[in-house]
Structure 1
Amino acid sequence: MTSLASSTVPSETPHSSHRWWTLAVVALAQLMVVLDATVVNIALPSAQADLGFSNADRQWVVTAYSLAFGSLLLLGGRLSDLVGRKRMFIIGLIGFAGASALGGAAGTFGLLVAARALQGVFGALLAPTALAVLTTTFTIPKERARAFGVFGALAGAGGAVGLLLGGVLTQNFDWRWNLYINDVIALVALVGAIFLVPNLRRTGPRPKLDVPGTLLVSGALFGLVYGFSNAEKDGWDSPATWGFLAGSVVLLTAFVLWQRRASHPLLPLAILKDRNRSTAYSSVMIAAVGMFGVFLFVTYYVQQTLHYSPIQTGVSFLPMIGMLVLAAQLSTNVFVPRFGPKVMVPIGMALAATSMVLLTRLGVDSSYAPDVLVPLMFMGAGMGSIMPASMQTATLGVDRQYAGVAGAMVNTSQQVGGSIGTALLNTLAATAATGYLASHTPMTAAVAAAAAVQSYSTAYWWCAAFFGAGAVLAAVGFRRRDQGLSLSTAHAASPQAASPVREDAVTVGA
């Protein structure tokens, strides 16, 4: 059993009348960060035509964001713990808005990539801080469940919202508005943050930032994201792929060893030793891998095979978003309190795996309804069962002084899952397409279309396998409901946790 002690003193009770407005502000910021990972994708062809960069270079518009975002998440989470949630939240909003304005006004490819990297930097400050604000604002279990239901739904649906919004903005306005839209969202969130986000005041000595740990983990995450991103372009046998991945493993090992002896660790290992929490992080990562398969390959299918426009492509995901939101609310308000994540997360994984198996049946002559619509509905139900329960469990019972880094681990799990999904599934799909074309000659338009569908099917089967493994992992890893809830009940009921003056020891451990 490990005890994490806090010196944080809230200046106001977290149960203020503004807490639901705080949720709206935090959810808006989270939506901005999540959708920005996909909203720019649809704008890429127009941006490429306008700025004149090559096909080989266009990946950097996406990769620059993911590299900065993924490698700095743990630093952003720790800074929110040390500097203050509200202050870091506001800094993240202002910086993200400024980077978005710079990217929207970019007249050269280099400036656009630099702006996207800056978006990633401030997104790494904003995303874990948003989750930490939510964690420290909602401490009553029933209200916490509702809040995380909304937050988890946005985390799962943000990518699809980005596809829809990107299609509308690109088709009806200009590609630059895919970046400028962030300024509109950030402005609203900024006003709300100034007046509504609670300010938690720290007393006592301020812990120091773990500089060696920060350098080690940032380098490890950079190597991981870059290595997997490079695998998509140059293949797994490229030194720029396996070299960075191997370097990432070395740095990550050194980071763990350092955290065991650091006086002010960036990531207290006690956070990861809790079985429920580590299983929740793993579930989030697996869900991110599978969601990539849906967003990328279904998008390609409906655009290239069904010949949908960008707006129609975005609209085609709306039923999935609706099902995800419904499932998230039912899960967090009805099913998770009754059955716990040990039941709900495996059910969600099974629903998502079913969705992928159904998608493998798509052919060149399939139609949207029911061939695409039904699997998307299953996926929405699955994500709505996985994400809120996992995200809530991942931050449950963590002392306030570590809420930022615990939230950062959620976002890091998503980012790592997305990076793995990008490289692995794209490579597997490309290999399947090449094999199909080699065995079906001569190549005609019909053969090329069939090869594309075959490549998507291969990716769906692998996603189904990931979700199947995730179901087993969640069923075995999560504690039974009574064991898992004992942590949160003890925390919520303790005078120390409820008191606005003092918060001492929160027990985290098996």
Structure 2
Amino acid sequence: MSRWFALAILCAGQLMVILDGTVVNVALPAIQESLGFSSSSLGWVVNAYLIPFGGLLLLAGRFGDLFGRKRVFVTGLVVFTVASLLCGLAQNASMLLVARFVQGVGGAVTSSVTLAMVVTMFPGPGERARAIGVYSFVQSAGGTLGLLLGGVLTRAAGWHWIFFVNVPIGIAAAALAQRVLAAERGTGRGKGTDVLGGILITSALMPAVYAVVAAADHGFGSARTLGSGLAALVLLAAFVVRQARAENPLLPPRMFRYRAVSGALGTHALMISGMFGFQFLAVLYLQKVLGFDEVETGVAVLPVSLLIGVMSLFLAPRLIGRFGARTVLPAGLVLIGGGLGFLGRVTADGAYLTDVFPATVPLGIGFGLAMPALAGLAMSGATPRDSGLASGMFNTVQQVGASLGLAVLSTLAASHTGALPHDSAARDEALTSGYRLAFQAGAVFVLGALVIAVTVLRAPRRATGDASAAGSASSGTAHADTPSVAS
């Protein structure tokens, strides 16, 4: 029983972290009005969280190996909780963005060790399958659940409370984790820590996203946009060189020699880019064009979370076990692309039941199928010594893809809308036209993911890859070498 209680604590911490990636989406209009964000800079309320989250996952996971996962998990919760308090107290845009950045750091530290601890807690195949099912649901559906929670809190108490609510939960989770999770000793500093690599990859993401966002105000050919893009490329190149020369690199180059890992990561990045764009842009369309309030918006996207839960917890493992991950994944991507394509035809005088709801069904089913299949394929291609790193890479790509996808799609929508007439009569049509274009671009991202899935991830001639992937997806075959909790 103590293990399941420990799992509940770990998932509570992980859910809090995942929710904060999207809980602000519904509150963005209220935050914009309160703190004076411009339309193009509003996306930074989300990106300021996602950039350090994605950039620090690998480094934070390495710290877990060195200093103990329990210590790292609790430290991350404390940082996240303090930053949440500062977010709620923010009186201007700059203060909110700085606090969101610190929140992302705490989220990365917390999330980086959670999966390894879950897998270690449940060594038996049956128990592990159930535990990974719960964890996968938190990972997959947490983002859309955040939209509902954000709407309820914003409507009932104001946008500040989407952050304040984390404070008592974080304190309780940290206190319980300190008591329930077993103490452990890491490998120590002697194994080396690629701190420079972590700094370089995180620093590369910042100007990369800024270059895309700045294009809305200054154009893609402006000196500011091109300069930021060049800085990102230079930092990324420095990171690659560092990984090739470091004694204990943060991201060993050998990982990309595994076909299943590389293909799954590429597919995941493009799929997440399109799906996260839906979470951000659908909220804006519902509120700014259809006139939904915060609670109505949260309820409107709830079908996506419900369908993801049903698929990831119950149906996806069975389908993957019967047909193989390489068969289930393309089917899921086709459904996601179809849902985004359907949203690519929304109109300024549309209605939720005819223009939005029909898209939530294939989006929820498709994402609930694709995520377990991708996770299984990513883990099946790695050797036992690399499985933990492959898991960290998978989570990193999810956060980086979400951040860059949001930047590209939101900037594309804002740029297109800005080029159209802005009188009161044409306002809704201009906004809708921008959202349509962004949804269509998201569908193209998913189409790219589908191409990778059916080419790079094609079934091997003699290997039992699908069976291996299915087993990974249902039982969470990530390896961990250090016990994390008391049993």
Could you tell which deviates more after superposition, 297-306 or 49-58? Answer: 49-58
- Residue among 458, 463, 478 paired with 2:437: 458
1:174 aligns with 2:168: no
Q: Does structure 2 conserve the Cα–Cα contact (< 8 Å) formed by 1:77 and 1:129? A: yes
Q: 2: distance between equivalents of 1:342 and 1:112?
A: 42
1:69 aligns with 2:53: yes
- Residue among 173, 178, 191 paired with 1:194: 178
Q: Does structure 1 conserve the Cα–Cα contact (< 8 Å) formed by 2:208 and 2:229? A: yes
The CA deviation string for residues 381-427 of structure 1, in whole angstroms up to 9 with x for no partner, is 11101122223443457678766643332232122212322232233
The CA deviation string for residues 449-501 of structure 1, in whole angstroms up to 9 with x for no partner, is 223222222222222222122122112223538225458979x99xxx79989
Q: 2: distance between equivalents of 1:281 and 1:428?
A: 24
The CA deviation string for residues 364-386 of structure 1, in whole angstroms up to 9 with x for no partner, is 33321243112111100111011
Q: 2: distance between equivalents of 1:203 and 1:455?
A: 51
Q: 1: distance between equivalents of 2:42 and 2:64?
A: 33
DSSP 3-state at the match of 1:301: helix
DSSP 3-state at the match of 1:415: helix
1:118 aligns with 2:97: no
The CA deviation string for residues 265-288 of structure 1, in whole angstroms up to 9 with x for no partner, is 111233332222222222221222
**RMSD value, Cα:** 3.2
1:237 aligns with 2:221: yes
DSSP 3-state at the match of 2:27: helix
Partner of 2:114 in structure 1? 130
1:375 aligns with 2:375: no
Q: Within 5 Å, which residues of 2 pair with 1:79-158? A: 79-158=63-142
* Change in 2 beyond 3 A, CA 1:48/1:357: closer
* Change in 2 beyond 3 A, CA 1:382/1:157: same
* Change in 2 beyond 3 A, CA 1:488/1:271: farther
Q: Does structure 2 conserve the Cα–Cα contact (< 8 Å) formed by 1:128 and 1:407? A: no
Counterpart amino acid of 1:456?
Y
- Residue among 416, 422, 426 paired with 1:447: 426
Aligned length: 476
Q: Does structure 2 conserve the Cα–Cα contact (< 8 Å) formed by 1:228 and 1:422? A: no
Q: 2: distance between equivalents of 1:230 and 1:220?
A: 16
The CA deviation string for residues 64-112 of structure 1, in whole angstroms up to 9 with x for no partner, is 3233323323221221222221111111011111111122233454433
- Residue among 459, 465, 468 paired with 1:483: 465
* Change in 2 beyond 3 A, CA 1:124/1:277: same
Counterpart amino acid of 1:475?
V
Q: 2: distance between equivalents of 1:68 and 1:306?
A: 34
Q: 2: distance between equivalents of 1:57 and 1:329?
A: 37
Counterpart amino acid of 1:377?
V
Q: 2: distance between equivalents of 1:137 and 1:485?
A: 24
DSSP 3-state at the match of 1:362: coil
Q: 2: distance between equivalents of 1:56 and 1:458?
A: 16
- Residue among 256, 259, 269 paired with 2:253: 269
Q: Does structure 2 conserve the Cα–Cα contact (< 8 Å) formed by 1:129 and 1:404? A: no
- Residue among 298, 307, 313 paired with 2:297: 313
Counterpart amino acid of 2:436?
S
The CA deviation string for residues 191-218 of structure 1, in whole angstroms up to 9 with x for no partner, is 4423444555446884111233233323
* Change in 2 beyond 3 A, CA 1:42/1:371: closer
Partner of 1:423 in structure 2? 407
Q: 2: distance between equivalents of 1:432 and 1:113?
A: 26
1:211 aligns with 2:185: no
1:387 aligns with 2:371: yes
- Residue among 265, 268, 279 paired with 2:263: 279
Could you tell which deviates more after superposition, 193-202 or 272-281? Answer: 193-202
* Change in 2 beyond 3 A, CA 1:408/1:389: same
Q: Does structure 2 conserve the Cα–Cα contact (< 8 Å) formed by 1:160 and 1:317? A: yes
Q: 1: distance between equivalents of 2:188 and 2:277?
A: 48
Q: 2: distance between equivalents of 1:182 and 1:82?
A: 28
Q: Does structure 2 conserve the Cα–Cα contact (< 8 Å) formed by 1:397 and 1:488? A: no
Could you tell which deviates more after superposition, 231-240 or 337-346? Answer: 231-240
Q: Within 5 Å, which residues of 2 pair with 1:4-23? A: 18-23=2-7
Q: 2: distance between equivalents of 1:297 and 1:205?
A: 44
Partner of 1:411 in structure 2? 395
1:471 aligns with 2:453: no
Percent of matched pairs sharing the same residue: 38
Counterpart amino acid of 2:89?
A
Counterpart amino acid of 1:460?
F
Q: Does structure 1 conserve the Cα–Cα contact (< 8 Å) formed by 2:87 and 2:99? A: yes
Q: Does structure 1 conserve the Cα–Cα contact (< 8 Å) formed by 2:51 and 2:403? A: no
DSSP 3-state at the match of 2:165: helix
Counterpart amino acid of 2:464?
D
Q: 2: distance between equivalents of 1:204 and 1:81?
A: 8
Shift of 1:225: 3.3
Counterpart amino acid of 1:33?
V
Counterpart amino acid of 1:77?
G
DSSP 3-state at the match of 1:364: coil
